[in-house]
Amino acid sequence: MRMRLTIFVIFLVTLSGLCANALAASLCQVRWVDDGDTVVLTDGRRVRYIGVNAPEVAHENRPPERFGPEARTFNRKLVYGKKVRLEFDREKQDQYGRVLAYVFLQDGTFVNAELVKRGYACYLFRRPNAKYDPLLLGLQREAMAKRLGMWEKFPDQGGPFPGNRHSRRFHRTTCPFGKATSPKHRIIFKTKYDALWAGYSPCKKCNP
């Protein structure tokens, strides 16, 4: 009986060590922070956070978007130089070759969610990666209601803004993509705030 117990204890210790080694091997270190939703790892991979979209920082001749520098600063405080764990969804890369991932700190902090929760990024719907969509949209609504981060003194715009229920994007009335939306997928928002509250994101073409 004692022999069996000893063997069982040794097995548990070995298993625990293997799990710890596997976890350590799965951790990556952040070498650089591009902006509020993209980082570069020490192995060279550029990681784009799934399910969120932060305002843009300055690029070449383009000025930064409202709250872009603040989002980058907050993201840097969260992850720069730290080890993170990547969790993947169905689609693992975007059209630019960036790794798509949910990012977690060693203490369990869900970085994607933290950015939305504090008002430094918006929820972004994009099929087929939708594992944490309900959580992220809920956190965005909480941040909007509390006027945190970008939502404080949010420069709302009056519409109408036609939205697409399939893509979850909203457009200006003059946008060709908005005009091409089929009637069964069309929805109209009175304000930009209303569209964002519903979980829709601005069209990149017309940038409402």
Which residues are marked as active site?
A: 48, 56, 98
Q: How is residue 151 annotated by DSSP? A: G
91-to-48, 62, 163, 196 alpha-carbon distances in Å: 12, 30, 24, 24
Angle at 64 between CA 150 and CA 109, to 5 degrees: 50
Contact, 103 vs 45, CB < 8 A? Answer: no
Bridge partner list, 84: 28, 105
**What does the buried/exposed string (b/e) look like for 112-150 if buried means 16 or more CB atoms within 10 Å of the residue's CB?**
bbbbbbbbbbbbbbbeebeebbebbbbbbbebbeeeebb
Closest listed residue to residue 140, CA positions, set 172, 115, 109, 105: 115
| Cα(163)–Cα(128) distance, integer angstroms | 19
Amino acid at 76: R
Token pair listed for 170: 């909203």
For the chain, the 3-state helix, strand and coil shares in percent, each to the nearest 5, are: 35, 25, 40
